[in-house]
Amino acid sequence: MRTPVALAGAVFALVAQAADGNLDLAHSSLVASFRQQAVSIDAAFRRFGGEIDYDPAHPASTRASLSVDMTSLDIGDEDSNAEVLKAAWFDAARFPLATFRSTAVKPTAPGQFDATGELTVKGRTQPITVSVSVQRAGGALAFDGSFEISRRQFDIGDPSWNPVLDDRVRVRFHLLAASH
């Protein structure tokens, strides 16, 4: 069995490896929004990485991959941050990373496309389609979008919380990537 320190080291190594992609992590964000007892909460993932290969002349050939360190969710409260790492929630000891890999991209308008791919969270993989807008930001490209998931589809959460915690979670992203 791995110790927490060894597990943390393995997670950081995997995220660092993913961060070798072309994302500018200092200027990118990934935020989960949900409602608990009718109160909106925004929680940022602090560690993630990946790569987006985008050619404006051939947007359908776009490829994207992203890895998210599930231990890096910051709800704004230490007790809540610790709670979501437990087996009933993210089970971060067994599933330290969530991933997205695109499988198809369909241009919808200039500077916009739908990216279809596989989202894996807590060992469960679901197909998703995400609408993305892209614009030039200095020498980089900014990719913005959001998507919604069901906690229950990914077996996230202690059922005793269902009466006070919405099932739907909106994930928003702003990813700044070096252009190729």
pLDDT for 108-123, tens place per residue?
999 999 999 999 999 9
* pLDDT (average), residues 33-61: 95
Q: Tell me which residue of 45, 3, 16 sits closest to 28, measured CA to CA.
A: 45
Tokens of 56: 């404006």
Q: How many domains does the chain have?
A: 1
User: Residue 95: which domain range?
Assistant: 4-178
pLDDT for residue 21 = 74
Q: 179 falls in which pLDDT band (50, 70, 90)? A: confident
Q: 94 falls in which pLDDT band (50, 70, 90)? A: very high
The predicted model scores a pTM of 0.85
CB within 8 A of 138, min separation 6: which ones? none
pLDDT for residue 10 = 38
Query: What is the rounded CA–CA span in Å between residue 76 and residue 133?
Result: 29
CATH, residue 168: 2.40.128.110
- pLDDT tens-digit profile of 12-24? 333 333 334 799 9
- pLDDT tens-digit profile of 126-155? 999 999 999 999 889 999 999 999 999 999
Query: What is the rounded CA–CA span in Å between residue 126 and residue 129?
Result: 10
CA angle, 72 as apex, 66 and 76 as ends, to 5°? 130
CA angle, 80 as apex, 76 and 86 as ends, to 5°? 140
Strands 63-69 and 97-109: antiparallel
